[in-house]
A and B are shown apart, each in its own frame.
Chain A
Amino acid sequence: MSPSASVHSAVEPAETPLTPESWGKLGMWIFLAGDAVGFGVLLASYGGMRATSADWPSPYAVLGINLTAAMTFLLICSSVTMVKALEWLGKGDRSKCRMFLFFTALGGAIFVSCQAYEWSKLIHEGLHINGNPWGASLFGTSFFLVTGFHGLHVTGGVIYLVSMIRYVTNRPAPAASYNAVEITGLYWHFVDLVWIMVFTFMYLI
């Protein structure tokens, strides 16, 4: 066995039964499952507190849903640009892939900016982490905790996407970066999926 072959086998010793084409994909899925438990616990405890509170404010009346509905739509659009990036890379077009990765990152950056604007507006209206003028103080606590946790994920995703543009640029063969871009997509779609849940539970219900 040549030295390079032994190094390769040390990196990927065998096929994984869950995701036969990539260990990295399995790693990302396991990370996402763990992260989903984190979000699940936050949302479940929110549900528990909300259901048993006598003076929980009506979220869509206090928070307003026009901006957040637009943000939801933006995140869905960014998921589409993400799958388009992977699709173009699969067809061997790296420049189109980079362009769609950039649009995805841009969508994420606009989302976080909208969230920053929404937070500052609500803080000025009196919504604080330890109290608010409309009712249960835990309303503000849970709102900032859950949307903040999600916002951090989006921020991390934007950094991840920008670094992937560089990753694709540095690898002339499109097949060399396909797997890594697919894994990035998993993370980004997960962030979108979580927002679907957050939007429903924190804003609409």
Chain B
Amino acid sequence: MAGAEHKHPNYMAIFWYLAILTVIEIAVIYAPLNKTTIVVLLCALALGKAVLVAMYFMHLRFETGTLGLVAITPLMIATLLVFLLLPDGFAVAKRTVGVKAAVSAPAKH
């Protein structure tokens, strides 16, 4: 029905959460942490922001659970794809490094 409305969440609160999380993201890249920790933190923060946008701005929280499945499927596919690509990428990288080492080694003598 065209007139059906959702219960409106506090949009300004969501806005401030998103703004604060963005500031934290920028602070994290300058923090004295190792690269893996920074990457994990940034992924978690981005996911947190995405969830806030989907749940409140896109009203997913007030929709049926099955629609949530429609929304989450692309994320699962993309995550799976990263793990599918990595072995191949590492194999190529290993071969390339091997070739580079073989090429540069004689030049040192």
Complex partner residue of A19 from B3, B45, B63, CB under 8 angstroms: B63
CB distance from A93 to the nearest CB of B (A): 14
Query: How far apart sit A33 and B12, CA to CA, in the bound complex (Å)?
Result: 26
* Given contacts A44-B82, A204-B29, A197 and B50 within 8 Å (CB-CB): yes
Q: From A79, which residue of chain B is reached at the shortest CB distance?
A: B57
Complex partner residue of A43 from B58, B73, B78, CB under 8 angstroms: B78
Residues of B within 8 A of A45 (CB): 81, 85
Q: From A82, which residue of chain B is reached at the shortest CB distance?
A: B57
| A47 at interface, CB cutoff 8 A | yes
Mark each residue of chain A from 131 to 165: 1 if its CB lies under 8 Å from any CB of chain B, else 0. Answer: 00000000000000000000000000000000000
A178 touches B19 (CB 8 A): no
Complex partner residue of A36 from B4, B49, B75, B79, CB under 8 angstroms: B75
Q: From A35, which residue of chain B is reached at the shortest CB distance?
A: B74
| B67 at interface, CB cutoff 8 A | yes
| A200 at interface, CB cutoff 8 A | yes
Complex partner residue of A204 from B42, B50, B54, B81, CB under 8 angstroms: B42
Mark each residue of chain B from 25 to 61: 1 if its CB lies under 8 Å from any CB of chain A, else 0. Answer: 1101100000000110011011001100110011100
A17 touches B66 (CB 8 A): yes
The tally of residues in B whose CB lies under 8 Å from a CB in A reads 52
A-B contact pairs, 6 of them (CB 8 A): A21-B4, A33-B73, A51-B86, A175-B3, A179-B1, A196-B46
The 9 tightest CB contacts between A and B, nearest first, are A40-B78, A52-B89, A48-B85, A36-B74, A200-B46, A175-B3, A44-B81, A21-B4, A52-B93
- Interface residues of chain A, those whose CB is within 8 Å of chain B, are 17-22, 26, 29-30, 32-34, 36-37, 39-41, 43-45, 47-49, 51-54, 60, 65, 69, 72-73, 76-77, 79-80, 82-84, 87, 90, 175-179, 182, 185-186, 189-190, 192-193, 196-197, 199-201, 204-205
